[in-house]
Amino acid sequence: MRIKIGIEVECILKGERAKELAGIIENIFRTESTISNADEYVPYMLPLKIMKTLENDIIFVDDFEYIEDAKVLYVKFIDTDKVPKLSFYLELAKTYDLKLYLSAVSEDDKIFFNTDDEGEYFPEKYYFNIYLGSISYSTELIKKLEEILKEHGFYYTDLKPFQEKLKEYNIKTEKDIYLLKSYLKNTYPSITMYFGRFINPLSKK
C-alpha cells in the first residue's frame, strides 16, 4: 500500500495521442510511481520541457485508466506542492496535443479546482465534508449534515441537498452555508466542516 501526503489531482487527458501517454504513465506507475527530476528513469520517459516544469517537486502517479474507444486517459496524481503545479499538467497536455480536464481538492488549504466548465467529466460545483472529532452527542442539525454527506458524498452539482435537508434552518444560498460553517466552528470547536465552491484556476475571467 502506497502512503502519500499531498493534493489529489484528477486529470482527464483526451485526444489522439492519449494512448501514447498512457503507455508512459503505465511504465511510471509500474516502476517508480513518482515523477521527479531526481528519479533515475522518469526524466528519460517524459520530454524535457515537461520535466522542467517540476523543478524540485515530486508528483505521484496514484492510479490511471485508458479508455480506448473514447481516446481518454484518466490519471489520479498526488501533488506534493502547496498548490497543484498547474504548469506541469498544462505542459503534459500541450506536449501530447491533448485536451485537459482537471479537478483538485485540498480541504485544509481551501483548494477546490475544476477546469471542466462544461461538466463533461467533472460536473461538481461544490465540495462538502464534515468531521465530528470528539463530540459526544449529535444535535438534530449535526445529524442532518451527516445525512447529507452519507446520501450525497463530497461532490455537489447544486445546493438542493442542503436546501431540502436544512429547510427548517432557512439554508438557501452559499452564504447561508458559510454562515452555518462559522456557527459550527464557534459552537462546536471539535467539529470541522469543509465547504467550498469549485473555481477554474485557468479561467481568464
Domain ranges of the chain: 7-114, 126-197
Are β-strands 34-35 and 126-131 bridged in parallel, bridged antiparallel, or unpaired? unpaired
- Asked if the model's pLDDT at residue 3 lies above 70, the reply is no
Residue 152's CB is within 10 A of a number of other CB atoms, namely 15
H-only helix segments in the chain: 18-30, 42-45, 48-54, 86-95, 140-152, 160-165, 174-187
Q: What is the pLDDT of residues 35-69, one digit of tens each?
A: 999 887 887 889 999 999 999 999 999 999 999 99
- For residue 135 the three cell numbers come to 463530540
Strand order in the sheet with 126-131: 155-156, 126-131, 192-197
Sign of CA dihedral 117, 147, 108, 74: negative
* Surface-to-core class of residue 134, CB atoms within 10 Å of its CB (0-12 exposed, 13-18 middle, 19+ buried): exposed
- Do residues 28 and 61 make contact, with C-beta atoms less than 8 angstroms apart? yes
- Give the residue with greater pLDDT, 52 vs 2: 52
In the prediction, which pLDDT does 126 show?
A: 99
Q: Cell 486517459 identifies what position? A: 73
The Cα–Cα gap between 146 and 143 comes to 5
Q: Is pLDDT of 25 > 60?
A: yes
As a whole number of angstroms, the distance between CA 18 and CA 11 comes to: 12
What percent of the chain has pLDDT above 70? 97
CATH number of 7-114: 3.30.70
Q: Give the pLDDT confidence of 117-151 residue by residue, as tens digits.
A: 999 999 999 999 999 887 767 899 999 999 999 99
Per the CB < 8 A criterion, the answer to whether 202 and 94 are in contact is no
